[in-house]
Structure 1
Amino acid sequence: MRAHRTALAALTTALVATGCAPVTADDVQGGPRPVGEVTMVVPFGAGGGSDIAGRAMAAGLTAADPTLSITVDNREGGQGAVGYSYFLGKRGSTHHLLATETSLLSLPAGIDVAFSHRDFTPIAKVGEDYTLLVARPGSPITSCADAVEQSKQRRVLAGISGALGPDAVVFTLMQRRAGADFDRVPYQSGSETMAAVLGGHVELASLNPSEVIGQLRSGRLTALCAFAPQRYHYPELAHIPTAAEQGVPVSFAQFRGVIAPGGLDPRARQYWIDLARRYAASPAYTDYVESEYLQPVTAFGDEFTAYLRDNQRLLADVVGR
């Protein structure tokens, strides 16, 4: 873990030193509101949940204001650190947005990076993404409570996608609040983690519903519990009990949202907030939320800022250095 954090810290320090520090005024597209082309930075690779969120928000915001053209720019690496460090250099720009999620908080809490959520302008939280604890059918572990108890008695391998990801947070909370003792095996992504469960290399994984719904439908994996405050309302997931129902008091959401660069003109900030509200009231937003099995919990502007502040405290306690 220490080596992993050191490598990430070195990466982000190098990024800032080699040109990702705040840019000059000539490079900034400032002003009261954006006009024309806008870039939506996604700090992860194509095809994952963050990429899907970024593309859905880009399309939805464009539909809400057809005078804009929003393109997606994937800048992956360092569990999101590369993209956020690049975005740090767009201070004051009205023509850049970033599809944000929990790494905005977990990276500064867990390693030395040059940014925190306070360096950016929160625009909107568009949903919450809770994970499911999954195992192969026929596994000796048949519930969330069973996973906790067996981990106390024998070696139970749990796959995680990065030491600072939401699944790692969930397993840490299970350890602290229920006394679980899992041996964690890190992978590069949720898809690699799922493959490890399917292949029998690990017994458990904590995955987002959108990542694993196909495997649940086919019967190749089974869901033991949902780390959510209440059961999902989606018919395909409604039968899955929450962890709390099984006596494991753990609930944690990866949020999905959008931020603008720091130092933004207040008029541009209000423009983006108003546009995000229009998107959240549109059929396109409903389609995105339902296709990804999100909880449609929104927050805008100052409310989103307060959410980030409160969750930063939680993550600092769970993954803090």
Structure 2
Amino acid sequence: MIRLKKMFTGIVIATTSLISINSAVAADYPPHTINMVAPSGAGGGWDLTIRTVAKTLKDTGLVDANMPVVNRPGGGGAVNLSYMQTQVGKGDLISVYSPPILLTNLTGLTQYSYKDTTPLARLITDYAAFVVPENSKYKSIKDVMDALKKDPKSVKIGGTSAAGSMDHIQFLLVAKAAGVENLRNIDYVSFQNGSLIAQALGGHVDLISTGLGDVAGLVESGKLHALAQTADKRIGTGLIAEIPTVKEQGIDVIFENWRGLFGPKEMSEEAVAYWRDTLQKMVATPEWEAALKRNSWDDAYQDDQAFSEFLGETNDQYKALIKTVFGR
């Protein structure tokens, strides 16, 4: 009996020590500085999203840590995803991603995928938008598709993601649904250095394929004219609410551009719990609600567990999508 008692006491001590260690780790999080990463150049949808998150967390006092925004462009997000593999287990890097974290892997642009990260939360849904300079000869998305049916090289498409990634794929989906053939021959040019808008205004590309939130301000200012967006309904207010859907124009496509936050692979349970609690609070604030309205974003919040399940299901859907568009 005495021996058993000693064994039991030892177990209690060991367990108590483990709890103390875990508490110490939890108390040390968050670190003094957390790098908030946009895996793209300045001015795109990822950049806008991560800056909005960082500002909201600061403005609401939910996070006291320094949160500098870091731009790490290249490969449609693949460069940053590769860098994240050097940060395994760390908690001082939070990156925003959207469908390209799946698409770049499925199309062979990178060996890494969402499985090589720690999904933290899905936050918003944006929609694809197709915009042209205000003096463009194209007045509707149908005009663009008619031109492509005659000659797939006749319209130069610009985007901020790599070929085979977000901005490219969303346009090809619409083109396929519109009956355009020879999709691989469509001229798509990637601008990941923040110069896309200038390229369009300078006449170097005919149409921009991007996220609606990314160009809402330019559309409202009149510098760009939106031909269509890919929601299932009209969204937003003012001029944004006047943008027709592609479905209204006889093209049966809906495309959602969700965005969420990811940490490095094997992020600690304490860090994951911290972000679960903090982001749940953030999405309930008036400041976040105002950001959704300002950027024409739909609320699409999911916590880490629901987001991970969503990513698995969506990855399967995109795999079928890639096969449909590219035949592989």
> TM-score normalised by the shorter chain: which range applies?
0.7 to 0.9
TM-score (structure 2 length as normaliser): 0.78
How many angstroms apart in 2 are the aligned matches of 1:140 and 1:217? 19
Alignment of 1:252 with 2:249, yes or no, is: no
Alignment of 1:275 with 2:270, yes or no, is: no
- Once the two structures are superposed, the pairs formed by residues 104-183 of structure 1 within 5 Å of their partners are 104-137=101-134, 139-154=136-151, 155-161=153-159, 162-181=162-181, 183=186
How many angstroms apart in 2 are the aligned matches of 1:116 and 1:166? 15
**TM-superposition CA deviations, 1:72-131 (whole Å, max 9, x none):** 332222222221111122222233221222221121112252421012121111111212
Greater Rg by CA: 2
**TM-superposition CA deviations, 1:228-280 (whole Å, max 9, x none):** 12111322211111111111112222222211222133343222111111011
Matched positions, count: 292
Alignment of 1:46 with 2:49, yes or no, is: no
How many angstroms apart in 2 are the aligned matches of 1:305 and 1:263? 14
Give the direction of change, closer, same or farther, for the CA distance of 1:123–1:64 in structure 2 (3 Å limit): farther
Find the counterpart in structure 2 of residue 36 from structure 1: 31
Task: List alignment gaps of at least 5 residues for structure 2.
Answer: 1-23
Give the direction of change, closer, same or farther, for the CA distance of 1:74–1:216 in structure 2 (3 Å limit): closer
Q: Give the fraction of aligned pairs with identical amino acids, expressed as a percent.
A: 27
How many angstroms apart in 2 are the aligned matches of 1:298 and 1:256? 10
Contact 1:166/1:253, CA 8 A, preserved across alignment:
no
**TM-superposition CA deviations, 1:140-182 (whole Å, max 9, x none):** 4332233323321345313132313322112221233221246
TM-score (structure 1 length as normaliser): 0.80
Contact 2:144/2:155, CA 8 A, preserved across alignment:
no
Give the direction of change, closer, same or farther, for the CA distance of 1:134–1:190 in structure 2 (3 Å limit): farther
Q: Which runs of 4+ in 1 moved over 6 A?
A: none
How many angstroms apart in 1 are the aligned matches of 2:288 and 2:215? 21
Partner SS, residue 234 of structure 1: coil
Of stretches 310-319 and 226-235 in structure 1, the one that deviates more from structure 2 is: 310-319
* Aligned-residue offset at 1:138: 5.6
How many angstroms apart in 1 are the aligned matches of 2:102 and 2:25? 28
How many angstroms apart in 2 are the aligned matches of 1:94 and 1:151? 47
Task: List alignment gaps of at least 5 residues for structure 1.
Answer: 1-29
How many angstroms apart in 1 are the aligned matches of 2:265 and 2:191? 30
How many angstroms apart in 2 are the aligned matches of 1:140 and 1:69? 47
